Structure formats: structure tokens, C-alpha cells
Amino acid sequence: MKIVSPKQLEQLAAEYKKTADRHKKMVIVCCGTGCLANGAQKIVDAFAECLSRRKVKDFTVEAVKKTGCHGFCEQGPLVVIEPQGTFYTKVKPKDIETIIEKSIENDEVIEKFLFTNPKDGRKIEKYPDVPFFSHQHRIALRNLGKIAPFDIREYIAVDGYKALAKVLTTMTPDQVIDEITKSELRGRGGGGFSAGKKWRTCRNVPSDVHYVICNGDEGDPGAFMDRSIMEGDPHSVLEGMMICAFAVGAKQGYIYVRDEYPLAVIHLQKAIADCEEHGLLGDKILGADFSFSIRIARGAGAFVCGESSALMRSVAGEVGEPRAKYIHSVIKGLYDQPTVLNNVETFVNVPVIINHGADWFRKIGVPKNSGTKVFSLVGKVRNTGLIEVAMGTTMREIIYDIGGGIIDGRPFKGVQTGGPSGGCLPESKLDLPVDFDSLTEAGSMMGSGGMIVMDDKTCMVDVARYFLQFLVSESCGKCVPCREGLYQLHKLTIKICEGNGTEVDIEKMEKLSQQIVVGSLCGLGKSGPNPLLSTIKYYRDEYLAHIRDKKCPAGVCRNLITYRVIPELCTGCLACITACAYHAITGQKKEPHVINQDLCEKCGACVAVCKHDAIEVS
């Protein structure tokens, strides 16, 4: 059905809201990529099978809703029973019969499925009361876990495309740009550049053709923010792009999605097709003099294609290599035409700003860093997953209030923000407010929003080596400072990890890093030394321990550690003997085992399986 006017859209929204509210009870199943990998689809199927067999009164299969990622990936698969808000974690298909019998038919709460707060062991029943969610402020993630991402009716029912109707009927392009500029929305892809300023510059370029591109590449290790939004709320992305297109005068848009995100592509394709069918994409949208279409461009997994100019070359079918930054994409971007490129999170904030106003948005966060930021919280933290907090929230609040603290109560050592181009921050920076400017000043960066927490068993020299290895493999090789400089930095970190480094090597790395920053063509090279420089700055003693003492304090670097069985703690359970692929461990059952140092490859398998902490790493 084609929607030909804002009035008709308003009427449909009211109709769809009534349809959505018709169920007295509803089961919401998280079907984001993480929960699907844990068997969420089998849970949906089990609900369908049990309901058809039991024939529950006033409750049918239609009341079981598949949504996008709720964010709490650590506890998946997740099931929420509404309107009570009962929150069940780590649900299995075999549990569904019990859930239907007790929680659907009899309003009982099944305690064993409730979330257990790691801080005090308390069982928490309600979804909003779980600390992981209660400390968040959700704007970009507002619809995740609430609507079915593949049903346009559900998006319209939560005021979807209301902002688009507003700009097409009551605002001029300049007024839209003024509102986005006034909101102080900064690009959430990493650079933190003013979205309004970018849009205005593009609009002011005299050209018959303008383009809008959404960057959904997201290549940072451990990052899955944009993926989850594209999977769970694709229409918000489209609406943000449409508003931008109206503002800058674009008729064609592209969403660039990395090849590793197949579910995001499926949901975006469905959303685009539904918009075309409903007249929300195409010619004369909502009866206005505005025409716009969107196509999906799929990347092939190259990290460098997250850089704007390399991405545009890839969309155009060329090799994804960056170009010099003095050529601005808002002036000469895709096909050498003025182009606005923002990432997924930036675009999904746009409809909210239009609906609620710039002043409302600017009051959230801190000065010059308004609104919220989405992070993927991963690593050695109890509660991993997708979170959204107001700008200015401290690192301590994120890691300890939302994340629940460090696994096994181990000491916090550092947090890496901003992906491979970011930096590692120590315990002394836990009270640092998380915003663009504070992170940059501390030697890290916001990046797209990856946040990796590390405990005392993490070697910071090895962390720098890992990220440099990643960047070396992902460099396009076009410019010498990046191609050769990062390679040399990587070789020097390997040298130190192997116990062959010297203090002169640290000086070499610092000098070379500065040359790479100055001489590289694009952001990959310019920010590539950040992990190394930040670890040298904050963890210099660890580098010196590798060099002077030939020891790895974290017990990670193989050349500098030794595994030994502590006889007093060994129960002779044979677990380590079974796990050792090199036959380096010998011993009889119920007797202390011994590790043959000549055969030991220091793989850590014995440590991983030992339940008695009987393996000493020194």
C-alpha cells in the first residue's frame, strides 16, 4: 500500500499501534547475531511447536516476536515476557514448555532463568532493573529489542518516518541543517566531525548531483554496534539518510555494508523493498517534491575501506585505496560529486533530533559532546555486550556499573578504546569522562565505539603487537610511511616480546611513530601507532621488564615464561595431560604431574583446563 501523504502516515501509525497492542501478553526473543549463534531460532521454533500443541488461551504464535539485538550478549539467548517485563537469560529450547506453563499460563516467575547480579548474587526479575540496562541512556538503540526489524508496520507504530514527514511538510533544507547543527551532533564513526557542518558544506557545492552514503563497514576487532543497529532497526537508518538527502539535495544514497554482515544486508534489503512498496522511497515521497532511492553496496572485508575516500572508491567499483585528505569528499566524493558520508549511528540519531528538537538532544551529554554513544563492551568484563551511555559517562561507570566489573574479581589493568587506531588507558584514567575530546587528550580516541577491557593477565606489549599486526595486514600499501613504517614497528614489538629488545628500540619506535603520523596518507596510518604509543606512555615499566629482566609480568609472551606444576595443589586429575597436544605433561592419576620443559610449547592449554590453579606461570 502506497502512503501518499503525511496524514495517511499518521493514520496508519495509529492503526498499527492498535494492532501491536492487541496481545495481552507477548514473548520477545532476541534474534540478533549473537543470540542466533546460541540457538535463538530454535527457541522461536520451540515456542511455535509448544503453542500449537498446547493451544494456550488468548496466546498464539503471533504473540512471539523476533527482535534485533537487546545488547546483553553475555547472557543470551534472551527472552522477555511483556507486559510484566520478566527477563529470562540463557534460555534453551527444552525450557520453553516450562516457560509457557508457568509464566504464560500462570503468571509465575521462574527463578532459575533470571539474571544473577555478579556483585551481590541477587536474582533480578524485571528487564529495566538489570544494572546492565538501568545505567544506559538509549537513543540510537531505542528500538532494539522492541520491534521486529523486518516489519515496516512495527517501525511506523513507534513513530517511524514521522520525522521525515515533518521535514517534508514544515521545514526547508536549510532549516533541517540548522537543527542538526544546533544539536551539535558529531559523527559517530570516529572522527567526531560536526554533522551539520558537513551537510551544509555539501549542500552549498554547486552541482546537479549529490550523494548520501551510510558507512556500515565497521572493521574494528570487537566492534558490532553498527551491525546490531542495521540488523535490529534498519528503518531508522533509512529515515536518517532520507532526511539528510532532503537537506543536501541528493537523489541517490548508498549503504556500504561489510561482507561479514549477511543478516544486516537481508534486513536492509527488506526495509528498502518495503519502503519502495509504501512509497517512502522513489518519486514524490509522501506527496512532496522529493525523490530518493537507496542501494546497498557490499564491501569485501578490507579494513581500509572504512576510510571515507577508500569506501567511495569501493562503492564505485574501484580498488579501495584512500586519497589525499586535502580533497574533501563533501566537495568531490563519490564519482567526484559532492557527497555526505556518515556512519550508521550518526544517521539513526537524526530522526530523534528532528522529532524532539536540537535543544533536547544537546542537554544530553556534556558541552561540545552532546547526545549519547554506543559501545561494544568486550574483554575481561563480566557483562559483555552492546551499550549506550550519555557522553561524559566515566570509564568506571561503564566497566563497573554496566559491565559488572572484572571477571573473577581480578585487578583492572587497562581499557582499549577506538579499535586498532585507538589507545590503551590505565587504571588512573578510570574516572575519565568518555567523550571525543577527553579520550583524544588522554592519548586514545572514541573511534567507532569498540571498548576492550583487560585484566592483569594481559600483556600490554603483546596488545600493541597484536594491533600492529592487524594494521600491517590491513594496510592498502599505497603510501610508504604506513606500509613500511607499521611493518617495522610490528617487527620491533615482536623483538621485545621475544626478549631480544633493547631500550634503544623504544626510542626508535617513538620516533618512527611520529614520522608515520605525519607522513601517512589516510587515517589508518596516521592513527596506527596509537596503541603502541599509549602503551609505552602508560605501561613503560612493562616494556622495560621484557627488555631488562627478560620477563613478561602478565605471563603471556612465550619466550619469557615457564609453566610449572605446583605439587601441593595438583590433585592428579589428568585434565592437563589430556589437554596437552605436545605430550609434555606426565604423571599418574591422583599423583602430582610434571611438565617437561623441553617439550612444552607454552600454549596455555594446561592452565585453561586446570580447575585447581595448580599450574604456575613464571
Q: Given pLDDT bands bounded at 50, 70 and 90, which one contains residue 57? A: confident
For residue 245, the model assigns a pLDDT of 98
For residue 425, the model assigns a pLDDT of 94
If one looks up domain 25-82+86-125 in CATH, what number appears?
3.40.30.10
Average pLDDT over residues 128-141: 95
Work out the percent of the chain whose per-residue pLDDT is above 90: 78
pLDDT of 23 over the 80 cut: no
- Cα 523–Cα 525–Cα 528 angle in degrees, nearest 5: 100
pLDDT of 161 over the 80 cut: yes
For residue 503, the model assigns a pLDDT of 95
For residue 432, the model assigns a pLDDT of 94
Residue tagged 545488547 (cell numbers): 71
Identify the residue with better confidence: 122 or 358: 358
Alpha helices in 285-435 (DSSP H): 308-315, 344-356, 358-362, 395-396
Q: Given pLDDT bands bounded at 50, 70 and 90, which one contains residue 21? A: confident
Q: Closest Cα partner for 408 from 457, 461, 452?
A: 457
Q: Given pLDDT bands bounded at 50, 70 and 90, which one contains residue 158? A: very high
Average pLDDT over residues 148-170: 96
Average pLDDT over residues 222-249: 96
For residue 618, the model assigns a pLDDT of 83
For residue 145, the model assigns a pLDDT of 92
Q: Please, which residues have CB within 8 angstroms of residue 53's CB and are 6 or more apart in sequence?
A: none
pLDDT of 56 over the 80 cut: no
Q: How far apart are CA 509 and CA 324, in angstroms?
A: 25
Would you tell me which CATH number, out of the four given (3.40.190.10, 3.40.50.11540, 3.40.50.300, 3.40.50.620), belongs to the domain 152-362?
3.40.50.11540
At residue 1, the 3 state secondary structure works out as coil
Structure confidence by residue, pLDDT tens digits, 241-250: 999 999 999 9
Q: Given pLDDT bands bounded at 50, 70 and 90, which one contains residue 396? A: very high
Average pLDDT over residues 44-48: 93
Tell me if 74 sits within 8 A of 21, measured CB to CB. no
Would you list the domain boundaries of the chain?
25-82+86-125, 152-362, 366-455, 460-549, 562-617
SS3 labels along 175-224:
HHHHHHHHHCCECCCCCCCEHHHHHHHHHCCCCCCCEEEEEECCCCCCCC
Q: How far apart are CA 415 and CA 421, in angstroms?
A: 13
pLDDT of 151 over the 80 cut: yes
By the 10 Å C-beta count (0-12 exposed, 13-18 middle, 19+ buried), 431 is classed as exposed
Q: Given pLDDT bands bounded at 50, 70 and 90, which one contains residue 400? A: very high
- Lowest mean pLDDT across 258-262, 331-335, 536-540: 258-262
The grid cell for 120 is 551481590
Q: Does domain 460-549 correspond to CATH entry 3.90.1150.10? A: no
Q: Please, which residues have CB within 8 angstroms of residue 171's CB and are 6 or more apart in sequence?
A: 179
For residue 325, the model assigns a pLDDT of 74
Structure confidence by residue, pLDDT tens digits, 470-492: 999 988 888 899 999 999 999 99
For residue 576, the model assigns a pLDDT of 93
pLDDT of 223 over the 90 cut: no
Work out the percent of the chain whose per-residue pLDDT is above 70: 100
Q: Given pLDDT bands bounded at 50, 70 and 90, which one contains residue 290? A: very high
Residue tagged 610434571 (cell numbers): 594
Q: Given pLDDT bands bounded at 50, 70 and 90, which one contains residue 263? A: very high
Question: Domain 366-455 - what CATH class?
Answer: alpha beta
Q: Given pLDDT bands bounded at 50, 70 and 90, which one contains residue 305? A: confident
For residue 190, the model assigns a pLDDT of 77
Domain covering 562-617, topology: Alpha-Beta Plaits (3.30.70)
Q: What global pTM score does this model have?
A: 0.93
